[in-house]
Structure 1
């Protein structure tokens, strides 16, 4: 499994275009004062024990959260452009990110990762 989970072409382009913003988001996550959507992407990981353990075992929780937030924001924008209201777009983006987290959480590579198993046992 690649550590660069959720690094789509659009995510990479965004990261390359806005490195200062990425650094700001990393600081916000580290200090616990991030805005609601970024906080949602971070705290949602707690609901997926295998994914959470895997991310912690490779020290990639912040990077993953930022990747997820960029994707989440893109979904919101796309839903709004498709005619959904702001609230509906947010709920749809939330649902999509939950489906993504669930698919990763249940992936064989994450479930069977030996280092992640140790972290999962510690976090349980």
Structure 2
């Protein structure tokens, strides 16, 4: 499995079992009309510039966000199953996704990818207005 893209066995099995749902989520992201948790998983990438650049360089940003959303939902369900109320379970799942994104953002696979470095520089210049 590819941990960098959050392609765990559970995510792959979910995606294979529900391809129509995955396609619906892709359409929701593209239209800017996604559920709050899916929107969170997508927009959180903006806080992790190396990970964001890496995902753009391999054209997998939306796929990654969907994988994160599946994992996020699993964590939420596990926290609720452990007795946490919905709001705390959501907060804990959000925190876990943030820690996952940070770990990937800081990983050598992401920070040392040559194509991603180019995207990172382009995005950094665009954000700073130096173009």
TM interval, short-chain normalised: over 0.9
Displaced runs of 4 or more, over 2 A: none
TM-score by length of 1: 0.96
Which residue matches 2:127?
Answer: none
Which residue matches 2:118?
Answer: 118
SS in 2 for 1:34: coil
Q: Matches of 1:110 and 1:37 in 2, distance apart?
A: 24
Q: CA deviation at 1:30?
A: 0.7
Q: Matches of 1:4 and 1:26 in 2, distance apart?
A: 19
The runs of 5 or more residues in structure 1 that have no matched partner are none
Q: CA deviation at 1:97?
A: 0.2
Which residue matches 1:49?
Answer: 49
Given that 2:37 and 2:69 are in contact with CA atoms closer than 8 Å, whether structure 1 keeps it comes out as yes
Structure possessing the higher radius of gyration over alpha carbons: 2
Which residue matches 2:62?
Answer: 62
Q: Matches of 2:4 and 2:110 in 1, distance apart?
A: 13
Deviations 1:12-53 (A, max 9, x none): 111011000000000000111101000000000000000000
Q: CA deviation at 1:109?
A: 1.2
Q: CA deviation at 1:58?
A: 0.4
Aligned length: 123
CA RMSD in angstroms, aligned pairs only = 1.1
Which residue matches 1:22?
Answer: 22
The runs of 5 or more residues in structure 2 that have no matched partner are 125-131
Q: Matches of 2:79 and 2:109 in 1, distance apart?
A: 31
